[in-house]
Amino acid sequence: MAGQALPMRDTSPPDSPPPEPDAPSRLVLVESPPPPRGPAGRILIPLAKVGAFLALTALTAAVGVAGFLYYRFSQGLPDIPKVSAYAPPVLTEVFTDDQVLAGEFYEERRKVVPYERIPKRLVQAFIASEDAAFFDHYGLDPVGTARAAFKTILHKTSGTGGVQGGSTLTQQTAKALLVSVEGFEKGTRRKGQEGLVRKIREAILARRLEAALTKEEILYLYLNNVYLGHHAYGVQAAAENYFRKDVRDLSLAEMALIAGLPQAPSRYSPFMNPKAASERRGYVLRRMGEEGMISREEHDAASHEQIRVYPVEDVFHEFAPYFVEQVRKDVVNRYGNPALLTGGLKVFTTMDSERQRAAQDAMLSGLLAVDKRQGFRGPLMSLDSPEQRRAFLARSTAVLGGAPLVDATYYVGLVAAVNADGTSATVQVGPHQGQLPLLGMRWARKVNPEAYYPGAMLTSLKRVLKPGDVVVVRTVKKKELYDDREQYDRKLADQLSEDGLYFRLEQEPELQGALVSIDPWRQYLVAMVGGYDFDANEYNRAFQACRQPGSSFKPVVYSAAIEQLGWTEAQTIVDSPIVENDPEHQVRWKPENYTEDFHGDVLLRTAVINSMNIPAVKTFVAVGIEPMAAWAKKLGLSTAMNRDFSAALGSSCVYPWELAQVYATFARLGNRRPTYFIRRIEDRYGRTLEDHTAYDDPWASLTDRIAAGYARLYEPGEQVMAPETAYILTDLLRGVVREGTGAPAQRLGKPAAGKTGTTNDSFDAWFVGFTHDLVGLAWVGYDLNPHPLSRYETGGRAALPIWVSYMQRAVEGRPEPEFSPPEELELEKKTVDTRTGKLASSASKTAAVMWFKKGTAPEEVTQDKKVVDPNQFMQVPN
């Protein structure tokens, strides 16, 4: 101001009056010129006041605008979370009963860990690479932002590229909170006015965070929120995703790699760009060294450490997808999708992981075997021209990448040549050539449901293969060329050497199946398979496919007769032709036995063991259509029963899941109870939402078992039939395995009861059976029934081997006692002649032990035909 005052005084008009003698002229020189005296002075004084007023007005307006903008942009900002109540979206985990992770569901794969559990070195790595001044600033770092902007411009100008981040960790935390409220798209916009608005709101929220929380609390929020690629939010999820470790177990090199991800998770992904990830790790380690966080020795050691990352596990698809998907549907139905995807639930299923693996293995091998017996559906494609074949082999070679072929592995190969005698073909897989002998594909006849499998074995592979065909093969040793003893041909085997590269012909099964296994006493669904391949088809046949049960429905019919009509194992039923006329549909139905013959009078026990159709129909008629429909519903079958006599033979469709529960009711001596596939659900805080734990579950805590045992006292179930009826039925089904259509189940080596099932049109094959402690159901068939199963593919041949394969592993090492009735049951055991239904005599050749409700056993003894009645020779007196 003084520099301006002197010239103003010097240029005063010459006729101006002299200053007053006592005027403080020095103040004029220092502060401001004296106001002009005259017309100009009278004008400048108001202008000065106006200027001051305008400045004040502008300042007030600026403050007002700033206040308005603050108010405007702070609207809708999320509340500052209390650390004690911090609850971001967290993944839901699904576990087996024995604590094996079986699935995860999430929108953001996040696991929240306390700040104290996060290694100090990992915290330092993030600070060094993202915000070195974190503990010094108040949420915003103008200097750092300006420096980052300058470096970004410099990089772009020089053409080196790259964008330097300028956000503090607090701002990044604020951004994560905005995303959680506004969504990813809106919360991460960078361009235009919307990007500017976002940055302003982010800065406001950052300041609020700094004012409300400590630095450590901000770090806690940040390290549990930051996105680190491949669906991983937070350091715990990233440690699991990349290294399959807990965050506490990370090495310094691994920490540095994770800390380098926030700037560009995709660009620095160790899966997608390992070189860029390594360079970024080096940058983080260098910054840690520059900030004095690590020593030179630690820096060098970590820089040279070989990092091994693992593919992100997809436990859902890899473990038990059909089971876990059913759990997902149930949780969503009862708790809602948001609770599943963001609520951090812990769902403990009833699945036994070992039994589930056994079920999946049994289903896979069983379907492959049955599908092969149906015939060969042809090659995948045929390449006619040499150019096409060369191109195919070139692609195969590129895919293999120079790796050798692995035993028992499936490959797609090209048939290069077929021997003149049709006993072998040369197959090429990439650069590798091997032999496909006839012995390895004798099953490959053309599909013909009328052909009997062993009698229609292939005699020359020329009938189905030619050069240029592309087929699925599996590498095997000579002894593994056949998987069915019926395929073996000694003459063909002797022609082959022990060494050499051999292939077996394979094909993707067209056939489907379902397996359901229930622990009847714990009420647990311990294993379930809904089809051959979940990735190819998510349709769960165990729960969704309504299929005709065939003869596996007959126990429902006979149990009704025993319970409602008082019939016994010794009840006589006439096995003779029967005809049902249906005037409404103008149909006449004449059922036949599977053997197409009739046996006259047979006992109920004989009819069950041999799965005879006519006696089952006559029993159904005796009970009545409407009583039978009500009985089936009472036992737990929800599907409507056909109102005709064909229902006796299983013409009404049922769900495998429900039929397995009916047999579980039989195993529990007629006590119907729900079967659970979810044992327990906890919320994110460990509070129990529901609990169905069995009191004797070895994997549950003692507290849970005690509580569950008490709860089960109030869930006694419904006694849908007398326990005596259920035990008699169990004894009948035990006979099916001992000497009837279920005899192959004896390979289990433990006492078992069960029933086969085959529909008349051979579209469905079943076996449902149980030991004392485990129920198993196996079904095999086609989804759309393009054609029936081949001849003789009964439940005993197609489904029962799957059941046996599963049950052998499921009960291995577990005692399975023989079935015996509890002492309190009013039952008695008698030896009965199976021809007459009367008590067996000492000379009876066909006798069996049968169980009867007290007072219902036969009393008459079968007469011994070898004993002569002396009365017939007595003379009558005259």
What 8-state DSSP symbol labels residue 81?
A: P
The phi and psi torsions of 580 (rounded to 5 degrees) equal: -115, 125
Query: Closest Cα partner for 481 from 467, 501, 462, 465?
Result: 501
Q: Which two tokens stand for residue 843?
A: 């000379």
Cα distances from 149 to residues 19, 146, 162, 165, in angstroms, run: 58, 5, 11, 8
The end-to-end CA distance of the chain, in Å, is 171
Widest CA span of the chain, in angstroms? 192
Query: Closest Cα partner for 261 from 288, 238, 286, 287?
Result: 238
**Cα(162)–Cα(153) distance, rounded to whole angstroms?**
9
Beta strand pairing status for 512-519 and 764-770?
Answer: unpaired
Q: Which two tokens stand for residue 859?
A: 């009393």
Question: Sign (positive/negative) of CA torsion 436, 442, 443, 448?
Answer: positive
Show the DSSP H helices in 375-466 as ranges: 386-400
Q: Give the bridge partners for 850, in sequence order.
A: 830
Q: Which residue has the tokens 């769960």?
A: 540
395 near 444, Cβ under 8 Å? no
| Angle between helix 554-564 and 723-739 (nearest 10) | 140
Query: Closest Cα partner for 723 from 826, 604, 608, 794?
Result: 826
CA 715 to chain CA centroid, Å, is: 30
**Cα(701)–Cα(703) distance, rounded to whole angstroms?**
5
The residues, any chain, with a CB within 8 Å of residue 659's CB and separated by 6 or more, are: 549, 552, 553, 637, 768, 777
**Cα(541)–Cα(363) distance, rounded to whole angstroms?**
13
**Cα(27)–Cα(662) distance, rounded to whole angstroms?**
109
Q: Which two tokens stand for residue 634?
A: 């009472």
Q: Is 385 a catalytic residue?
A: no
Beta strand pairing status for 688-691 and 600-603?
Answer: unpaired
Q: Is 551 a catalytic residue?
A: yes
**Cα(433)–Cα(427) distance, rounded to whole angstroms?**
6
Which residue of the set 93, 130, 202, 563 is catalytic?
130
| Strands (DSSP E) found in 388-450 | 410-418, 424-429, 432-437
Which residue of the set 517, 551, 552, 652 is catalytic?
551
849 near 783, Cβ under 8 Å? no
User: What is the secondary structure of 324-360 as a DSSP string?
Assistant: HHHHHHHHHHHH-HHHHHHB--EEEES--HHHHHHHH
Q: Give the bridge partners for 778, in sequence order.
A: 515, 767
337 near 751, Cβ under 8 Å? no
| Angle between helix 252-259 and 235-243 (nearest 10) | 120
**Cα(655)–Cα(543) distance, rounded to whole angstroms?**
6
CA 579 to chain CA centroid, Å, is: 49
The Cβ of residue 26 has, within 10 Å, a number of other Cβ atoms equal to 8
Q: Give the bridge partners for 347, in sequence order.
A: 94, 681
The Cβ of residue 219 has, within 10 Å, a number of other Cβ atoms equal to 21
Q: What are the residue numbers of the active site?
A: 130, 551
